[in-house]
A and B are shown apart, each in its own frame.
Chain A
Amino acid sequence: MWAVSSMAQFTNASLKAAGLTCSMCSKAVKKALEDVAFVQEVKVDIKTQEYNLVFKESADVEFDVLKKAVEDAGFSVASLKVTGSFPEVHVKKDSHVKAHGRNFHFLNGNGQALRGEQTLTLVDKDFLSDKDYKKHSSVSKLECVKTGKTGSCCEKEGMGAGERVYHVVI
């Protein structure tokens, strides 16, 4: 059930950046995202203030790299929603799931089956405003919500300790 399907992968994302100045008024964030190895294309949507990313086919998409690119450009991530196709997995509130070779911790969910194209919102620290992070992280008592790394809590779910785990809501 948690097997990584070679067909499945993340295809695109929408990212909002925040900072002291108007992030859209500078080319810096767009350029930094375009320079990320697994990013094929970046389009700026002025109306929604989002950077719409298309990932390269079969690329190994690592969300931390996107965050670092935005931060290196002098801004921070205000929101990141990622879209990809999923193998069939059932998500329960406050549970871990392995998909696309990455670990996910769903902070919501009611046991529904994920299948096909899904959009997840990342709620790890520094992927959204501090206020929203506090709101989302309060859902779970598990230590990984604070560290972003798998702990002793996750081993029974097929994850090693100390692995990166992304916290998401659906």
Chain B
Amino acid sequence: MKNLRKIFVPGLLTLAWLQTSAQQTIPNITDPRLDFTVISPKGDSMKLSSLKGKVLLLDFWASWCVPCRFSNKQLVKLYSKYRQSGFEILGVSLDEDKADWKKAIAKDKITWLQAIDDRGWDALSAIKWQVDAIPASFLINQEGNVVAINPEKKDLEKKIKELLGL
């Protein structure tokens, strides 16, 4: 019974999220209610929907978030393993201090796409994706559909392989 609840409760929550945040069965990054524009370390703007076609992990984090920094370490390995096959990560930092953000990118050896939405919890991207705690991540398939929310690293790797047909 306990196991059943473990399976069912997250399932129901996900379903509720899908229904309320977008009036379609599956949330898609081209939906204007989910799409956002953020700024790269070089100062260029980047639109989420422009990444459609990739197997994408949208990852919300901040330099001051210790669990996020731990997650970065794991993502570095995953990214180097699958980037050649078409896997991309968009890290969206909620840092308010750009220097802290850039320092963390260098320290964690992040080579994937990075952008900042420098308004902390008031960042529009985080509000659109209903992010109440970080780290928060969303796995998105080639069609731009969200296929997993906060996947565990093991599960994430399995899903990436599936989506990439490996």
Contacts and interface: CB of A to CB of B under 8 A. Distances in A.
Interface of A: 21-22, 24-28, 30, 44, 46
Given A28-B132, A46-B64, A46-B97, 16 more contacts: A24-B64, A24-B65, A25-B62, A25-B68, A25-B133, A26-B132, A26-B133, A27-B121, A27-B133, A28-B133, A44-B120, A44-B121, A46-B95, A46-B96, A46-B100, A46-B120
A68 B68 CA distance: 28
| Majority secondary structure of chain B interface residues (helix, strand, loop or mixed) | loop
B86 interface: no
A24 to B, nearest CB: 6
Contacts of B96: 46
Contacts of B120: 44, 46
A28 B95 CA distance: 18
Interface residues of B, number: 16
Interface in B43-94: 62, 64-68
A30 B97 CA distance: 19
Contacts of A27: 121, 132-133
B121 A25 contact: no
Contact of A25 (B97, B100, B134): B134
Interface string B108-152: 000000000000110000000000111100000000000000000
